[in-house]
Amino acid sequence: MLLANTTIVKKAIHTASWTIVGLFVALPTYAADILPSSLSTKIKTVTQLGTESPITITETVINILLSLVGLIVLILIIYGGITWMLAQGNEDKVTKAKDILKGALIGIIVVLSSYGIAWYIFDIIESATNAA
């Protein structure tokens, strides 16, 4: 009986969390219709989204996201180094620091690869659309 209740609670929490995520994804889509035209014009002026092509907007968003992930990786590298320096020969802490640094190294490789792939794809798309 207790097991069945915990399963139901977990399913309810899972459903509620995905509903909240769905609302945060879907609501901005409907906000454009609700906003007064003057506010919508101000948003377009400030962000300059109305003057840029979709490729440029997507490029900018991807660059910002990869920059944030790169910043997180940098913080992890610093944290791993500090953890290793403060380990004082404790093997558990040294192992933890090495794992953090390995994960950060993998992260920086993924970020740089993602940036390179995104740049290459957008370069191909821009040259194909400008040539046409």
Check: CB of residue 101 under 8 Å from CB of residue 81: yes
**Confidence (pLDDT) at 2:** 47
Tokens read off for 114: 């993602």
Query: Who wins on pLDDT, 43 or 32?
Result: 43
Query: Which residues are within 8 A (CB) of 21 and not within 5 positions of it... i.e. 6 or more apart?
Result: none
**Confidence (pLDDT) at 1:** 46
Phi, psi of 36 (to 5 degrees): -65, 155
Residue 34 has pLDDT above 60, yes or no: no
Instruction: Give the model's confidence band at 101: pLDDT under 50 very low, under 70 low, under 90 confident, else very high.
Output: very high
Please state which of the ranges 2-16, 25-39, 48-62 shows the lowest mean pLDDT.
25-39
d(CA 83, CA 94): 7
